[in-house]
Structure 1
Amino acid sequence: MKKPVISFIISALIGLGVGYLVFDVVAADDSNKTEVVADKESTSQPASDHNKEEATTVATEENLLQAKGCLGCHSVSGLNLSGGVTGPDLTQSFNNVEGKHGKPLDQFLKEPTSAVMSGVISGNPLTDEEITGLVKLLEEASQSH
């Protein structure tokens, strides 16, 4: 009984680790492509200042979440960002993290209390500016639904 459980846990950890490493490499390439696509769209189509600001915000949101690897495991339906399905959708994380993990989102992103996120954050730490940006994005996502 113990051997299959241990094998499962080891396999799951290896699978998550390999998936994270692969996504980290892919996300670095995709973030540059997203910026180019956003630039082409904003210059090729005339739009009002509001539409340009909205397009820039969406591109920035996606870039930050992709650059930090969040979309490798998570999606954010509140921002219409699809991603991985390994982790939960982050749309309500601004409202739910404190209840689930005992600390506000900004503190959780500095020092996660979950084993998986502790490993992810320690391998790719966030700056204070990135944490502030992510908290703002996730607050917006929580208000959209």
Structure 2
Amino acid sequence: MKNPIIQFILCAIIGLGLGYVVFDVVLADGGNNKEVASSAETAKSTTKATKEEQKTTKTEDIATASGEENILQSKGCIGCHAVKGLNLDGGATGPDLSQAYNNVEGKHGKPIQEFLKEPTSAVMSSVIGGNPLTDDEIAQIVEQLKKASEAK
């Protein structure tokens, strides 16, 4: 009887600890804390890690080929969103941002620049509220999303 209870308690502690690391440490840092993310990834299979490295290399090659750092990666947007228009595979939590440049105003009632300053969605408000974007970062993001919307 005690053994399953102990196992449950240990699993709960490990799960809460991992949740804290992912959501509080990694996401509060805007996804830039690669040491924590890489230590969490070591628990995954070797095959999956190899695929992630290939995706990262591919997206870094795209950013390098265009001659500019991809702001969507550096600000952590790709953690939740994909941008197929820029060949950026990302998280599936949020919607694909390939048409965000064209659709944000109709969906949220304000231009994309204003939405990135003060998001109207609850999720984005909490994400951006914890790590506000500068005007320069907003301009870079809008430019990337414009390129994504034009790619077909």
TM-score, with normalisation over the residues of structure 1? 0.65
**1:73 pairs with 2:84:** no
In structure 2, the CA distance between the partners of 1:101 and 1:71, relative to structure 1 (3 Å rule), is same
Contiguous gaps of at least 5 residues in structure 1: 1-15, 42-50
Q: What are the residue-to-residue correspondences of 1:43-122 with 2, within 5 Å?
A: 54-57=65-68, 60-61=69-70, 64-122=71-129
- What CA distance in whole angstroms lies between the structure 2 residues aligned with 1:93 and 1:84? 16
- What CA distance in whole angstroms lies between the structure 2 residues aligned with 1:18 and 1:100? 33
**Superposition RMSD in Å:** 3.1
Specify which of 18, 27, 32 is matched with residue 27 of structure 1: 32
The alpha-carbon deviation at position 28 of structure 1 amounts to 3.3
The alpha-carbon deviation at position 65 of structure 1 amounts to 1.3
The alpha-carbon deviation at position 22 of structure 1 amounts to 5.5
Q: Does the residue aligned with 2:32 lie in a helix, a strand or coil?
A: helix
Specify which of 132, 135, 145 is matched with residue 138 of structure 1: 145
Contact 1:73 1:86 in 2 (8 A): yes
Q: Does the residue aligned with 2:85 lie in a helix, a strand or coil?
A: helix
The higher radius of gyration belongs to 2
Kindly provide the CA deviation profile for residues 8-63 of structure 1, in whole angstroms up to 9, marking residues without a partner as x: xxxxxxxx987544543653328xx9xxx79xx8xxxxxxxxx9973423xx12xx
Corresponding residue pairs, total: 110
Runs of 4+ in 1 over 2 A off after TM superposition: 16-30, 51-57
Contact 1:20 1:72 in 2 (8 A): no
Contact 1:75 1:90 in 2 (8 A): yes
Contact 1:77 1:89 in 2 (8 A): yes
In structure 2, the CA distance between the partners of 1:100 and 1:79, relative to structure 1 (3 Å rule), is same
Is the deviation greater in 16-25 or in 111-120?
Answer: 16-25
- What CA distance in whole angstroms lies between the structure 1 residues aligned with 2:139 and 2:65? 19
| 2:141 counterpart letter in structure 1 | L
Aligned position for 1:45: none
TM-score, with normalisation over the residues of structure 2? 0.62
The alpha-carbon deviation at position 100 of structure 1 amounts to 0.3
In structure 2, the CA distance between the partners of 1:90 and 1:19, relative to structure 1 (3 Å rule), is farther
- What CA distance in whole angstroms lies between the structure 2 residues aligned with 1:120 and 1:52? 24
Aligned position for 2:136: 129
Q: Does the residue aligned with 1:27 lie in a helix, a strand or coil?
A: coil
